[in-house]
Each structure stands twice: as structure tokens, then as C-alpha cells.
Copies of this chain bind each other. A is one copy, B any other.
Amino acid sequence: MTPPSAPARDPASTRERLLDTAERLFAEQGFDGTSLRQITREAGVNLAAIHYHFGSKDALIDAVFDRLIRPINEARLERLDGVEREAGEGAPELERVIEAFVRPPLEASIGSGELGARRMRLVGRVHAEREHISRQLFVRQFEDVFRRFHAALGRCLPELDPETIAWRMHFMIGAMVHVVLTAGDPTVRQVLGPDGDGLEPDALARRLVPFLAAGMRAGEKGTAP
């Protein structure tokens, strides 16, 4: 008698299966709406595994957040590095800076498909349900990104004072988060047109970037009165 489907005791696998499953369920149901029992059941591991590997539900949420957002922010900074390198001494083009900021969360994963849409939702959730995430971790993850992009936007828009740029970054984040949070929502989809591929990162960026760039430029000379 062979043991029926031996549980594959790969040591690293349990931890990552938990992160994968938790990420999926948090995206679909929110943090409060997802129980540890559901996560462990769907991951096919024991209930106690979460506390063994992470310590608590809050620590699991932080781990999921960290694994999700870290590569996004790294990609943002890499893209910004490239944009600034190409610009040399002069100011980089505003549209390219904005694209460096919004593209990584839109791509959110391998890019598109059902899995990508789910991770997109989670990117939105970590902003909208921020109170579940350790404030220290949240600040640490975003302070570099904020500072770098704030400086870059300041060079693109020399007439705007730093406070105005900060406010407009806030609006930009809001538009981006909302797009990403409602990706796949049937009610929204119905309003924005029935085409299935309007939610691809490319299509979203083509809609979002010109809107944000124009908003950022508001009041600068050379624009509409």
C-alpha cells in the first residue's frame, strides 16, 4: 500500500503556498473577510502552519504586502532611473515619469489574465484598507519611492511648489488605486465599455497617463488658460 498522494514535504513550499493562497484570497475578499482556516484549507496545509511560519495573521498580511509591493516599487525606481539617465542634465519628460510610476502596479504580476487582475485588486486593497498593514512597514516601503518621484516631478514642473506637487501625487495615486481596485468589477466594466482587453496594462496606461500628465501640468504656462 503506497501512501495516498504523499504531501510533498518540500520545506520551502509550505511557506510559499501560504503566501500564494493568502494573496489570492485577500485580493478577493479583503483581509478581515478571509480566515486563516480558509487559507490553510485551500493551500492544503495545516492550520497551525501560519503561526509556525509567520507568527500571526497580521504578520502574514505584512508578509503578503511586502512580497507584493516590494518588486513593484523596485520596478518604479528602476524605470525612473532609466528615464532620468536618458534625460541627462535636462528635465525628463513628464509623461515618462508618470508612466514609470503607474506602469508597475498596473502590470502587478506577469501582466494580464485572471491572475494579474487579482493581484491588481490587492495592490488597490493595501491602499484602501491600509489600517491592516503595519504603519512602519508601509512607510518604509513607500518613502523612497515618494521622495524620488517627488523630486523628479519637481524638475518636470519647475513652476509648481513642492506642496502642490505632493497634493497632485496624492490625486495620481488615488486615480491609479481606484482603477486597480475596481479592475474586473462587473458594474464598472459595464460602464467603461464591454471590450475585454481594455483592462490590459497597456490599454490602461494609454488612458491614464495623458489624463494624469495634463492634471499635473494644470496652471503651468503654455497650457490652457
- Measuring CB to CB, which residues of chain A are less than 8 angstroms from any residue of chain B? 29-30, 32-33, 124-125, 127-131, 135, 138-139, 146, 163-164, 166-168, 170-179, 181-182, 185, 187-188, 191-193, 207-208, 210-220, 222-224
Contacts and interface: CB of A to CB of B under 8 A. Distances in A.
Given A178-B177, A179-B170, A207-B164, A217 B212 contact: no
Contacts of A139: 187
A52 B207 CA distance: 48
Number of copies: 2
A196 B29 CA distance: 35
Given A179-B170, A185-B130, A193-B166, A218 B222 contact: no
Contacts of A177: 174, 178
Contact of A179 (B127, B128, B174, B214): B174
A166 B191 contact: yes
Report which residue of A166, A210, A215 has the largest number of chain B beta carbons within 10 angstroms of its beta carbon: A215
A29 B31 CA distance: 12
Nearest to A181: B128
Contacts of A213: 218
B166 A171 contact: no
B187 A167 contact: no
A170 B187 contact: no
Contacts of A222: 224
Given A129-B30, A178-B170, A223-B223, A211 B207 contact: no
A29 B154 CA distance: 36
B187 A178 contact: no
Contacts of A164: 207
27 contacts: A30-B32, A30-B131, A124-B128, A128-B128, A128-B129, A138-B187, A146-B191, A167-B192, A167-B211, A170-B178, A171-B179, A171-B208, A171-B212, A172-B175, A173-B178, A174-B176, A174-B177, A174-B178, A174-B179, A210-B219, A211-B216, A211-B218, A214-B214, A214-B217, A214-B218, A217-B224, A223-B224
